Amino acid sequence: MTTGAAAGPSWSAPRVLIADDQALVRTGLRLILTTRGIEVVGEAADGGEAVSAARRLKPDVVLMDIRMPHMDGLEAARRVLEQDRDCRVIMLTTFDLDRYVYEALSLGASGFLLKDVTPQHLAAAVRLVDTGDALLAPSITRRLVERFAGGAARAPAVHRDLTALTPREREVLTHLGRGLSNTELARELGLSEATVKTHVAHVFAKLALRDRAQAVVLAYETGLVAPGGSDG
C-alpha cells in the first residue's frame, strides 16, 4: 500500500484497540475513529488488559496511553510488539517528554502523539502507521534529534554497521531520520515513489529494521542525523 494513497477497492480500514485508563478518553477516541470509518475492535483500561486484548483480538493498530495503572503503556507496548510483530503501536500522552519518546521508539512503537491532537490528525495517524510508516509530532522530532544526536548517552543501536548500505541507501536513511515521508523523499531525491519504496525496503532488510520508527532511532544513534539537519 502506498503511503497516503486514497482508499481503493482493496483498501480495508485498520482494526484498532484503544488502551487508556480513563473511560471518557476511550469513548472519545472510539467516537472519533468510528465516525471516520475506522473499526475499533476493543478497549483496555490498563497495560495488562491491553496485552491480553491485543493477543485475543489481533488489532492492526493499538492506541496506547503511557501512564496507566498496574502496567504502564511502555511495558505494555513492549509485550504487545513481542507477541505480534505485525501490530503497530501509537503512544498517546499529555506529557511531551523526550525520555518517553525515545524509549517508545526504541522498543518498536511506530508513533507518538499528544492527546491534544485534532480528530482528523488522529485518524490520519492511525491510517499512516497501518501502512508501515512512522509518525512523530514535529516538535517532538526536533527535540529528539537535538538530544540524542547531540551527544547524550545512547542505548545500543539495532545495527550500527552502515557499510552494507549503498551511498543512495545511506542518503535515504538520513532522510528517514529527519522524518521525511516516501512522497517527500521522492521529491527531495528526484526519484519516483516506487523507487524510493524499493530503497527503503533495502535499508530495512540490510539493517534488520522492523519499520520506519526504528530507522529514525538508528539514524539518531549512529549520528547520521545531527542537530540542525546536517549529516553525521
Whether 151 is in a domain gets the answer no
Residue 29 lies in a domain: yes
Asked whether residue 221 falls in the same domain as residue 128, the answer is no
CB neighbours of residue 224 within 10 Å: 20
At residue 63, the pLDDT reads: 96
61 and 118, same domain (yes or no): yes
The answer to whether the CB of 20 falls within 8 A of the CB of 29 is yes
Q: What pLDDT, on a 0 to 100 scale, did the predictor assign at position 177? A: 82
Last residue of a domain, one of 105, 136, 167: 136
Distances (CA, A) of 64 to 144, 177, 192, 215: 20, 23, 34, 21
Task: Give the closest residue to 102 by CA, choosing from 144, 67, 64.
Answer: 144
- In the chain, how many domains are there? 2
Check: CB of residue 88 under 8 Å from CB of residue 58.
Answer: no
Residue 79 is predicted with a pLDDT of: 95
- Residues 97 and 170 reside in one and the same domain: no
94 and 167 within one domain = no
pTM attached to this predicted model: 0.70
Shared-domain flag, residues 174 and 98 = no
Residue 87: closest CA among 46, 64, 58, 66: 58
Instruction: Give residue-wise pLDDT tens across range 190-230.
Output: 999 999 999 999 998 998 887 777 787 788 778 787 655 44
CB–CB of 209/203 below 8 Å? yes
Residue 146 lies in a domain: no
SS3 61: strand
CATH number for position 168: 1.10.10.10
Say whether both 29 and 86 belong to one domain.
yes
At 38, which CATH number?
A: 3.40.50.2300
Residues 92 and 169 in one domain: no
Look at residue 1 and tell me if it is in a domain.
no
In-domain check, residue 149: no
Residue 147, in any domain of the structure: no
* Judgement on whether residues 70 and 113 belong to the same structural domain of the protein: yes
Tens of pLDDT along the chain (232 residues)?
333 433 333 457 899 999 999 999 999 999 999 999 999 999 999 999 999 999 999 999 999 999 898 899 999 999 999 999 889 999 988 766 656 777 777 788 888 888 888 999 999 999 988 877 666 655 566 566 566 555 544 444 444 578 889 999 999 999 988 878 788 899 999 999 999 999 999 998 998 887 777 787 788 778 787 655 445 4
pLDDT at residue 100, as a whole number: 75
Flag whether 8 is in a domain: no
Assigned domain for 2 exists: no
Residues 85 and 160 in one domain: no
What is the pLDDT, as a whole number, of residue 223?
78
- From 104, 136, 168, the end of a domain falls on 136
Residue 111 sits in which domain range? 15-136
**Are 28 and 57 in a shared domain?**
yes
pLDDT value of position 154: 46
Helix 23-34 to helix 119-130 angle (10° resolution) is: 70
Instruction: Single out the residue in 80, 105, 136 at which a domain terminates.
Output: 136
